[in-house]
Structure 1
Amino acid sequence: MAIYGYARVSSADQNLDRQISSLNNAGCEIIFEEKVSGVTTERPELKKLLATVKKSDMVVVHSLDRISRSTIDLLNLVDELKMKGVSLKSQNDTWLDTTNDNPFSEFLLTVISGLSQYERKMIKQRQREGIEVAKKKGKYVGRVKKYSDKHSGMNHAIHLYKQGDMTVKQICDITQVSRSALYREAKKYINGEKTP
């Protein structure tokens, strides 16, 4: 088992020392350092970390806002690490500790996932209402493309998964791809068996 740390600051002139000191104290053997805004989807050091970790490893962060851009991003990250058999621990957010199948941590992640799904449903409802209003005003120009076959549905599912803006459940609901099939296909990309 290896313990990896991940530290990030939002710009090149900010200092990583406090996070690195904290991660060293937590026993991290290797620390991936990132100087990039959390808003961007391009986080090369995080990608390297995810490509490096193996089963039974642990990832430690100083706080969750250092590794995730949003609630959905966090849930997708936890899902991806679970698929690899890797645990995640936050030093500041002590409720998140998946190292020992912590039931409290699992409970909170379930609650957060539920809230994210609720938020997504509300967004969809507002979109539907907006479309109805646009139709009545004669301004509706089309509808979202439907994926009629299994292969294109999986391609769309992988595309959404890589974007990191939705939970696995949300992706499966939208694309009608099963969770197990998506995990199998996503794992091929994670392990480098396939390229985008």
Structure 2
Amino acid sequence: MRDDNDPGTLDPITGGLMLGYARVSTDDQDLTLQRDHLRVAGCNKLFAEKVSGARRARPELDRMLDHLRPGDLVIVTRLDRLARSTRDLLDIAERIQITGAGLRSLAEPWADTSSPAGKMILTVMAGIAEFERSLIIDRTRSGRVAAKAKGVRFGPKRVLTPEQITHARQLIEGEQSVAEVARLLGVHRATLYRALMPQ
């Protein structure tokens, strides 16, 4: 919730709040330097946390993103404090943009979505990330096709050997129930049903 008694510094252009986000990866690192830089930049509403960028859960980041309103400006000292990858950065930037807020990095002046040039650069980055994702998908698909042509099987490994499956068929044809045969082989009924299905 927004604290009306402490509105924070307002962005002189948009009139929105200037919100700072700081993060360090380990408990041994100190947030003081980032906080100082963000205060000098005009932020007096800060969200800070000690958590690895590789971890999905970043509660203070989520709290800040939920706090955003149109015209607000998110300021970070460096982009790697905000995001763990290009894709992550673009996702966060999109969430910020959807609320009508902007993003600015102090160390990377080109990363300022409150300017037309910054918006253009992020759009180009999004296009490159999409292109990279398409290449990965194509390479993965080609690799699977080549592997299948060489006889490689995908999916979970067989739990039952071909001999066990043949034996199971014989037992079921001999009037034993699938449940009894599954229990005898030490597998779940669903596993046995899948094994008995024609390939």
Q: Give me the TM-score of the superposition, normalised by structure 1.
A: 0.68
**Residue 30 of structure 2 is aligned to residue 4 of structure 1:** no
Matched, 1:29 2:50: no
- Is residue 133 from structure 1 mapped to residue 146 from structure 2 by the alignment? yes
1:46 and 1:20 map into 2 onto residues whose CA distance is 15
* Offset of residue 137 of structure 1: 2.1
Task: Tell me how far apart the structure 2 counterparts of residues 29 and 103 of structure 1 sit (CA, whole Å).
Answer: 26
Q: What is the rounded CA distance, in whole Å, between the counterparts of 1:140 and 1:111 in structure 2? A: 39
Name 1:120's counterpart in structure 2.
Answer: 133
- Whether the aligned pair in 2 keeps the contact of 1:64 and 1:90 (CA below 8 Å) is yes
Q: Using the alignment, how far apart are the partners of 1:122 and 1:56 within structure 2?
A: 36
| Residue equivalent to 1:156 | none
* Distance (whole Å) between structure 1 residues aligned to residue 69 and residue 123 of structure 2: 24
Partner of 2:171: none
Alpha-carbon shift at residue 140 of structure 1 (Å): 3.2
The Cα shift of 1:44 comes to 0.8
Q: In structure 2, what is the Cα distance between the partners aligned to 1:56 and 1:110?
A: 20
Deviation of 1:79 after TM superposition, in Å, equals 0.9
Give the aligned partner of residue 96 of structure 2. Answer: 81
Residue correspondences, number: 140
- What is the root-mean-square deviation of aligned Cα atoms in Å? 1.2
Query: Structure 2: which 5+ residue stretches go unaligned?
Result: 1-15, 156-199
Write out per-residue CA displacement over residues 2-37 of structure 1, whole angstroms, 9 at most, x where no aligned residue: 111000000011011110000000111211111011
Equivalent-residue separation in structure 2 for 1:106 and 1:97 (angstroms): 7
Q: Secondary structure at the match of 2:96?
A: helix
Whether 2:67 is the aligned partner of 1:49: answer: no
Partner of 2:71, secondary structure, is coil
Letter in structure 2 aligned against 1:11: T
Report 1:1-196 matches (<5 A).
1-99=16-114, 102-141=115-154
Deviation per CA, 1:79-137: give whole Å up to 9, x if none. 111110111111011001122xx221122112211211111111011111111122112
Instruction: Report 1 or 2 for greater relative contact order, CA contacts < 8 Å, sequence distance ≥ 6.
Output: 1
Percentage of pairs with the same residue: 42
Deviating beyond 4 angstroms after TM superposition, the runs of 4 or more aligned structure 1 residues are: none
